[in-house]
Amino acid sequence: MVQATTTLKVQTVIKSAWGLIIACLLTGCVGVPKGVKPVQGFELDCYLGRWYEIARLDHSFERGLSHVTADYTMRKDGGVRVLNCGYSEKKKEWKTAEGKAYFVKGTDQGYLKVSFFGPFYGSYVIFELDHKNHQYAVISGPNKSYLWMLARRPELEPELKQKLISRATALGFDATKLIFPKQQHPPP
């Protein structure tokens, strides 16, 4: 009797664990890193358009790319179309990735989930934003190994760039590992 009860408890735990794993795979990793707070008063219409990547933490999906841009436009279903573009110096070719993004909570909060791979989503947490002119933004993924600094122009003033790096460092991002891709001319 004790062995049957123990076996049933183990089976229940295993089923619960698999359920959690499957749920994470289907919903993706859409959390917010500790200490990071999405901007409030977010206005999607002002955020749409082209952004240039000023800095990023390295990941395989962007490794070796320069002249990186992100273009955001509305989708018919109310979501956001995301078109990322970057130039591979090594392969001498442009690479693009198209995705879709949706708000996780309210539309006035800079907290979205983005997918480039079917049903798998990741966090897109805007935690620094030029609310007045929408000229710069700093974005995190689901944890502090993801960080992007974007601007409406290919360059940011050095003082502003340093201020944003200091803000990210204060939140626990490893700014010593930031990559600053070339942005000498606009992509196609």
In which domain, by residue range, is 54 found? 31-179
Q: Please count the structural domains in the chain.
A: 2
SS3 51: strand
Whether 187 is in a domain gets the answer: no
140's tokens: 């995190």
Vertex 163 angle, CA 184 and 187, to 5°? 20
Start-to-end C-alpha separation, the chain: 70
Whether 188 is in a domain gets the answer: no
pLDDT per residue of the chain (188 residues) written in tens, 0 to 9:
655 554 444 343 343 334 333 434 444 588 999 999 999 999 999 999 999 999 999 998 899 999 999 999 999 999 999 999 999 999 999 999 999 999 999 999 999 999 998 889 999 999 999 999 999 999 999 999 999 999 999 999 999 999 999 999 999 999 999 999 998 655 45
Provide the CATH number for the domain around residue 98.
Answer: 2.40.128.20
Whether 23 is in a domain gets the answer: yes
Same domain, 5 and 54: no
Same domain, 50 and 1: no
Q: What is the pTM of this model?
A: 0.83
Q: Could you give the CA distance from residue 186 to residue 155 in angstroms, rounded to a whole number?
A: 12
